[in-house]
């Protein structure tokens, strides 16, 4: 991921600052930068080009995200802007920033752990997860999965057996 250069004042670097304020439409506590889907920002001369990697190829929020990025860049007077989607390498939850994971936890969503790439496909649809997911509210590891899917396909529904509160878990991908 190409990050802005500290102290630089170019149009692309200013665009990075603007994009720090654009929130994910499905998890509004996270910005697109927290989520790690903004790969690069270029001053292409005729436009600011933002390279995005969707969280998955069929993500229904992709068009909304593209529009939000363009509106933010153009609204800040840095446009015109365009978005280029780059699907390879595929996005992984490892790209969520440490700050983003802390925001998820504070919001009541258990953040994903690191993906063990040696284990093959990280998401398994069958069976229950063997490892406990710590409760984002009380920190207890005494939890259970209630459903493989939560409000979005990237999250599962869990319950803490200590504080009895349900919570969502952002599945590692």
The pLDDT tens digits of the residues spanning 21-50 come to: 999 999 999 999 999 999 999 999 999 999
pTM, entire model: 0.78
Q: In CATH, which of 2.30.30.90, 3.40.1170.10, 3.90.1300.10, 3.30.300.130 is domain 11-85?
A: 3.30.300.130
Q: What is the mean pLDDT of the chain?
A: 87
Separation of alpha carbons 111 and 92, rounded Å: 13
- The larger pLDDT score, comparing residue 115 to residue 42, is at 42
The pLDDT tens digits of the residues spanning 66-94 come to: 999 999 999 999 989 999 999 999 999 99
Domain boundaries, the chain: 11-85, 108-170
**Parallel, antiparallel, or unpaired: how do β-strands 38-43 and 48-52 relate?**
antiparallel
77-108 b/e (C-beta count within 10 Å ≥ 16 → b): ebbebbbeeeeeeebbbebbeeebbebbbeee
Specify whether the CB–CB gap between 55 and 123 falls below 8 A. Answer: no
Q: What percent of the chain has pLDDT over 70?
A: 86
């Amino acid at each position: 991921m190409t990050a802005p250069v500290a102290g630089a004042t170019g149009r692309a670097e200013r665009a990075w600052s603007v994009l720090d304020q654009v929130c994910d439409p499905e998890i509004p506590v996270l910005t697109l930068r927290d989520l790690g889907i903004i790969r690069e920002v270029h001053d292409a001369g005729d436009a600011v080009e933002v390279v995005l990697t969707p969280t998955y190829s069929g993500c229904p929020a992709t068009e909304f995200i593209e529009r939000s990025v363009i509106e933010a860049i153009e609204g800040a007077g840095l446009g015109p802007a365009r978005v280029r989607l780059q699907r390879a390498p595929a996005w992984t939850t490892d790209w969520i920033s440490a700050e983003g994971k802390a925001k998820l936890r504070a919001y009541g969503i258990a953040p994903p752990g690191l993906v063990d790439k040696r284990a093959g496909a990280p998401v398994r649809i069958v069976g229950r997860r063997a490892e406990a997911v710590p409760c984002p509210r009380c920190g207890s590891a005494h939890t259970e999965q209630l459903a493989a899917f939560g409000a979005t396909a990237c999250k599962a529904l869990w319950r803490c057996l200590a504080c009895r509160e349900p919570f969502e878990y952002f599945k590692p991908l």
